[in-house]
Amino acid sequence: MLTAREITETLKTKFDKQIIKAEEKVSNQLFVRVAPDALIPVICFLNKTFSPRFLVNAATDVVQQSGKYVVSYMFSFDREKIFLCIQVAIDAAKPDIDSITPIIAGANWSERETRDLVGINPRNHPDPRRLVLADDWPEGVYPLRKDFPYNYKPPSEPQNKVPLKKPPEGTRVIPIGPFYPVLEEPAYFKLFVDGETIVDCDYRGFYSHRGIEKIGDSKLTYNQICFMAERICGICGFIHSTCYCEAVERAAGIEVPLRAHYIRTIMLELERIHSHLLWLGIAVHIIGFDTLLMQSWRIREPVMWLCEKISGNRKTYGMNLIGGVRRDIPSGIYDEIIRVIEKIERETTEVIDAVMGDTSLHVRLKNVGILTEEVARDICTVGPTARGSNIHIDSRVDHPYAAYDLVDFEVAVETGCDIWARTLVRLRETIEAIKIIKQCLLEMPDGPIMGEVMEEIPSGREAICCVEAPRGEAIHYVQTGEDNRPYRWKVRAPTYANLQCAPYIIKGGQIADVPIIIGSLDPCYSCTERMAVVDVRTGVEKIYTKEEIIKR
């Protein structure tokens, strides 16, 4: 099996002096610095020789130290359990770099985001439109540069509105959004239709960009970010705090106690169960099957009660810290947890049996929203979206974290490439999650739940972590810094990877199928930046603005 050292030697032999530096900073995490003019040849060579899977890129402002910006392109060798990070330093006076999107289609959004947030222009990009910044954001203002204050509010320039695609000749336009049906999050799909058939579409999202990465490496300390990370997603927040913590722990060489790893695994799988049951309810509601909506959400509710009993909250558990977890799972409630999840297992199995035999579901979900294996690989999709198209990837196996290398489970993969296949993957994963929780409770080791954390984490260290969220692989990249906070913190949520395939699975479909096709990706467009507070004594509700929250 290929090793990190063999990858290094192969690159050095092929490119000689164009490899500036190569080191394995963390076990099985290889960081290779290449000359700017070698980027495209190196990417082409990697793609042809090894076919690693592209994850994301991240740009870091190191102008104050070196007058450069550093762009990191992250790849996964899944079978070998290796991360490869190709890094290029470019002159801040001329921040241009060749686009890799013509080689790897899945790099499209990532390169556009780098241009929006740091100002690095991807030359020859096939779609150079603005991606994540607001329509009225001023030109030449880049929020992830170090000279941009985290609390600065730039002036509005409405003339910068992003142009959408022009409809193909002979088609009409049908808009969906920006207030999306069923999902209470903003997203705008512009459908180009010929009769009832969709010819093409355009997408505009990122209406609620909250600047979490910016405040993470500008204002918050390492442990404060644990709680901020958990608020990236309103459904699957624990995966983000786990991913962030493990990235920092790997970079700093912090040993996490085994018991803490098991507790993280239990909470992650409880989160997977409730997320998949939530998705099932929303999906069938989209196509009018509200009986199954009620049943799946009824089955889900005891999971939420368990989470509240363990952590004090139904969601946003607040359990992770750098080095371990804040709360133990007392042995006195193990029997109760097992009793509850076994009941959920029985009832979920009954739901699966009903779904498998429901002919109306077969009609609505089979051969609809086709995502071929080839396109799924090209776009670099993840999670049930990828596994429903016969792609055998799962971070729990490919890049083990928490206690996943100590438990047995089956990775659910289907070959149908349609909505039905993606549904079966999630249903099978729900049963596997219950099995994992049982194993963790039966094999839970004794010992502490927090490891020894150094007083000051050394700066200049880097690490990557992937965690398998219910929607797919989440990625956190951390470069440690001064003042007890990261110098750079990069997050890629699974929906970011999966939404890029939307035009492919919508194209050629019928208008009536669009909501469930989009819903089959389990998209999480954003989370709200407002906060509602209810006075439990009076029942009065108040919604706080951002300014009021900061003031308080």
If you write DSSP's letter for every residue of 36-66 in order, what string do you get? GGGHHHHHHHHHHHT-PEEEEEEEEEEHHHH
Which ranges in 287-388 belong to alpha helices (H)? 290-311, 334-356, 359-365, 373-379, 383-387
Q: How many CA atoms lie within 13 A of 383 on its CB side?
A: 26
Burial class (CB in 10 A: 0-12, 13-18, 19+), 215: middle
pLDDT of the residue at 31: 97
Closest by CA to 120, choosing from 71, 54, 75, is 71
CB 119 within 8 A of CB 95: yes
Burial class (CB in 10 A: 0-12, 13-18, 19+), 526: buried
Distances (CA, A) of 534 to 54, 233, 307, 540, 548: 44, 22, 21, 6, 15
Distance from C-alpha of 273 to C-alpha of 152, rounded to nearest angstrom = 40
- The model carries a pTM of 0.93
Name the DSSP class of 253: T
Q: How far is CA 14 from the centre of its chain?
A: 33
pLDDT of the residue at 184: 63
Cβ partners under 8 Å of residue 74, min gap 6: 54, 55, 56, 57, 58, 83, 84, 85, 464, 475, 477
Closest by CA to 398, choosing from 449, 500, 466, is 466
pLDDT of the residue at 193: 96
What the chain holds in terms of domains, given with CATH numbers, is: 4-159 (3.30.460.80), 212-534 (1.10.645.10)
Distance from C-alpha of 226 to C-alpha of 216, rounded to nearest angstrom = 10
3-state helix, strand, coil in the chain (%, to 5): 40, 20, 40
- Max Cα-Cα span within the chain: 72
Q: 3-state class of 300 per DSSP?
A: helix
Q: 3-state class of 83 per DSSP?
A: strand
Cβ partners under 8 Å of residue 72, min gap 6: 31, 57, 58, 59, 60, 85, 86, 87, 477
Name the DSSP class of 506: H
Burial class (CB in 10 A: 0-12, 13-18, 19+), 454: exposed
344's tokens: 């959920």
pLDDT in tens, the chain (552 residues): 899 999 999 999 999 889 999 999 999 999 999 999 999 999 999 999 999 999 999 999 999 999 999 999 999 999 999 999 999 999 999 999 999 999 999 999 999 999 999 999 999 999 999 999 988 999 999 999 999 999 998 999 988 888 888 899 999 999 887 776 566 678 888 999 999 999 999 988 888 778 899 999 899 999 999 999 999 988 889 999 999 999 999 999 999 999 999 999 999 999 999 999 999 999 999 999 999 999 999 999 999 999 999 999 998 999 999 999 999 999 999 999 999 999 999 999 999 999 999 999 999 999 999 999 999 999 999 999 999 999 999 999 999 999 999 999 999 999 999 999 999 999 999 999 999 999 999 999 999 999 999 888 999 999 999 999 999 999 999 999 999 999 999 999 999 999 999 999 999 999 999 999 999 999 876 543 334 454 656 656 565 665 666 666
217's tokens: 């490496």
